[in-house]
Amino acid sequence: MYTKAVYVAVDLLAIASMILIMPNIRHMRRDYYSWLWRTLLAGVIAISANICIAVSPNETFAEISYCLYFSSIDWLLFFLTGFCISYTEYETWLRRLSKIAAVIMAADTVSIFANPFLKNHFYIIETKDALGTVFYQTGFNRMYYLHLEIDYLAVATAFLFIIIAIMKTYSLYRVKYVMILSVLLLVVVLNFIYMRFQLLLDASVVFYAVAGTLIYFSIRSFVPRTLLISSTGRAVDDMNEGLLLFDISSSCIYANAFARNRFGIDPASYDFSCEPIRTVTEELKERGETFGEADYVTLGRAGGKFSENHYRIKYNCLADKKGRPVGSYFLIEDTTETTYYLKELKEARENADNANRAKSTFLANMSHEIRTPLNSVLGMNEMIMRSTDDPQIIEYAENIQASSDILLRLINDILDFSKIEAKKMDMVPVEYSPHDLLTECYDYFEHSASSKDLYLKISCSDNMPTRLLGDVQHIRQIFSNLISNAVKYTREGGVTVNAICENTSGAAVRLKVSVTDTGIGIDPGDIDYLFDAFKRVNEKQNATIQGTGLGLAIARDLVELMHGAITVESAPGQGSTFTVIIPQNVADPTPAGPYVRKHRDTGKKHRESFTAEGAHILIVDDVALNIKVAKALLRNTKITMDDALGGNEAIEKCRNTRYDLILLDHRMPSPDGIETFRAIRAEGANMETPAVMLTANVLKGVEEEYMKMGFCDYLAKPIKSEMLEQCLIRHLPAEKVHLTE
């Protein structure tokens, strides 16, 4: 009786161990885990049947239990063989053999369960031990040996694939296959002993549970841990960083290959007094840090030349699970390549900055060289228009004006693109009237549109606020670029500008302006390149149309700087619509009402906006024609004007004569305008006289620089008479200025 109790207890422990493992196996995704799970399930059934055999009250119950036991062993070995084939990655063979084997096992199972009727496999023998305990054993018929051959064939198949895997794999992974093979051999040996010596109970069944458990832990724990232990040291040796480990007494216990090869470290004789650790710890101590990182440089020789090797060394503490210090480690990173890369990057940046400064200087020089003669052209052309009533001469002068405006716009486009590219374009918000802005755009392009027999229409929503707050100068530039393109690329029909206001909040709106033309349109394949700098689509067709290809690129960049958006809709031969949406703040929310364009009287003669009899100014320029232009523009203002051809002459005159205002050119032979201004301020009668800088340099920041130097104002060439007059009104003594009605 005690024998049965011990046997049943062992079997129950085996079942419990398999049941605990099975849920973990079921959630794993590899195919061979499903085979292992079914193997353990069959093992649970087999051991349960074996328990039933041990506690059978009669022969019938024992016979049925034996049928369940033998058939479950069939399926256990079927699933175990499937696991072995799948685990050794012979999936093709598994697909070929599994269906045939399943049919054979099913037939054998049916044959076994027919035993109570046919007595074809076994018969029951009742025996007793020395204590009189009854045991039910089996005697075997011929069919049982066929069943046994099927089982051994399954085991042999599993052996075959495991042995092949052992022969093909290397030592680390060979261990797991050897473990599986050993378990299978043990089960076979125990089963053979049971049959050969006709033991009272079959103890080999317990080892099915042991086999499943060992296989599971071999796959999930033993092999990964072995791999981790064996590969960690190799991985640490192979990594491109140095690692030094020290115990709590600062004795070196490990140095990887990088540390040994780069610094000749021998762990047996290495401590904190050796390089590079000594330098690093001393530097950290000077900084008042217990742990941290520091740079370390060594000299090496490569290709007959000395070179520096740069390292970044990190020093930190090693602690156990409770946070108690058990040692320390140094991690050594080779930063030589990074250091040289950063050095090259710094040099490249400096070169780029130098190139950018050279470009800015070149643009300033080109701006000066082009604007200076253009100033004379526009100035003298204006004097022609002021001094004649001949329609033919006025038409010629207007053509000169239009061509000069085109040239000036091209120069401004290049300069603006340079500013945007260098991220030096500032947005300066001011109050402005949307209606006035649209009128200015109309007036500017009215002549160019009418000269091509094109209409130009402006419409504006009635709810447009009276005044908005935004960078009106750049908004005007955006609209001008779009309208200019529309007029240039339209041969018949015209251009329509529509402005509406989309409310987003009480203090902000979205200004939406669409420019629609009836022009040549744009091919769909060219739209993606439309806003590229210096890119002009359909070059052959548009070869006669003037432009730099910068207008739309500048418009897009300016819109993006204002956090807006620009879109285009177009089709070849059907015209185009460019839509700009720009967020704007509201200065005066009162609706402006219907848009009405105020007509200009273009035929009216120019009339000075002020007179200043008694005012005395000095005009300084190294180009006599520029002085002549300035005097001509101010001829009817009754101002007394002196002039000086260069800085030295201006300094001499300022020593003896007190002026109300000095107009001073920047780019002159030594001394230039700035040096002349400083000399005038240093001595003489004009130390407090306001000075206005006249310059063709319109690059970003020059106005602020002039203001910091002490200039009261700044005028860009070509000088417009309106701007010049407004400047003089601001800075001449108020008692000498009389505004004209």
Domain edges within the chain: 2-231, 240-334, 428-591, 610-739
pLDDT reading at 572 higher than 70: yes
pLDDT reading at 676 higher than 70: yes
What pLDDT score does 179 carry?
67
CATH number for domain 2-231, candidates 1.25.40.80, 1.10.630.10, 1.20.1070.10, 3.30.390.10? 1.20.1070.10
Tens of pLDDT, residue by residue over 255-291, are 988 888 888 888 888 888 888 889 988 888 888 888 8
What pLDDT score does 548 carry?
47
The mean of the pLDDT values for the chain is 81
CA pair distance 71, 48, nearest whole angstrom: 13
* Burial of residue 573, with CB atoms counted within 10 A of its CB: 0-12 exposed, 13-18 middle, 19 or more buried: exposed
Question: pLDDT band at residue 2, thresholds of 50, 70 and 90?
Answer: low
Percent of the chain's residues with pLDDT above 90: 17
pLDDT reading at 206 higher than 70: no
What pLDDT score does 424 carry?
58
What pLDDT score does 668 carry?
85
Please, what sign has the CA dihedral across residues 726, 728, 731, 734? negative
439-447 contacts: CB < 8 A, separation 24 or more?
Answer: 439/597, 439/598, 440/476, 441/476, 441/479, 441/480, 441/483, 441/497, 442/497, 442/597, 443/600, 444/480, 445/480, 445/483, 445/484, 445/487, 445/495, 447/398, 447/402
What pLDDT score does 25 carry?
73
Which of 669, 667, 662, 663 is CA-nearest to residue 697?
A: 667
Bridge partner list, 71: none
Is the CB of residue 244 less than 8 Å from the CB of residue 265? yes
Q: What residue ranges in 435-481 does DSSP mark as E strands?
A: 455-460, 465-470
Q: What is the mean pLDDT of residues 224-241?
A: 71
What pLDDT score does 406 carry?
64
Question: pLDDT band at residue 315, thresholds of 50, 70 and 90?
Answer: very high
Domain 428-591 coded CATH 3.40.50.880: no
Helix (H) or strand (E) holding 307: strand 305-319
Is the CB of residue 653 less than 8 Å from the CB of residue 642? yes
pLDDT reading at 399 higher than 80: no
pLDDT reading at 677 higher than 90: yes
pLDDT reading at 199 higher than 90: no
Tens of pLDDT, residue by residue over 137-152, are 788 888 888 888 888 8
Q: What is the mean pLDDT of residues 16-29?
A: 74
Q: What is the mean pLDDT of residues 20-29?
A: 71
The amino acid at residue 351 is N
Question: pLDDT band at residue 128, thresholds of 50, 70 and 90?
Answer: confident
- Estimate the share of the chain in helix, then strand, then coil, as percent rounded to the nearest 5: 55, 20, 25
CB-based contacts of 128: which residues, under 8 Å, 6+ apart? 134, 135
Q: What is the mean pLDDT of residues 9-33?
A: 75
Tens of pLDDT, residue by residue over 350-395, are 888 787 777 666 766 666 667 667 766 777 777 777 777 777 787 7
Percent of the chain's residues with pLDDT above 70: 79
What pLDDT score does 617 carry?
93
Where is average pLDDT lowest: 32-36, 173-177, 568-572?
A: 173-177
Q: Of 198 and 726, which is predicted with more confidence?
A: 726
Question: pLDDT band at residue 221, thresholds of 50, 70 and 90?
Answer: low
Question: pLDDT band at residue 163, thresholds of 50, 70 and 90?
Answer: confident
Query: What DSSP string describes 612-658?
Result: -TT-EEEEE-S-HHHHHHHHHHTGGGT-EEEEESSHHHHHHHHHH--
102-111, 175-184, 536-545, 699-708: which has the highest mean pLDDT? 102-111
Superfamily of domain 240-334: PAS domain (3.30.450.20)
Tens of pLDDT, residue by residue over 55-88, are 888 888 988 988 998 898 888 888 888 888 887 8
21-30, 428-437, 656-665: which has the highest mean pLDDT? 656-665
CA pair distance 537, 482, nearest whole angstrom: 15
pLDDT reading at 161 higher than 90: no
In the block, tokens 């022609």 appear at 384
Topology of domain 610-739, CATH: Rossmann fold (3.40.50)
pLDDT reading at 112 higher than 50: yes
CB-based contacts of 407: which residues, under 8 Å, 6+ apart? 370, 374
Tens of pLDDT, residue by residue over 469-484, are 988 888 888 888 899 8
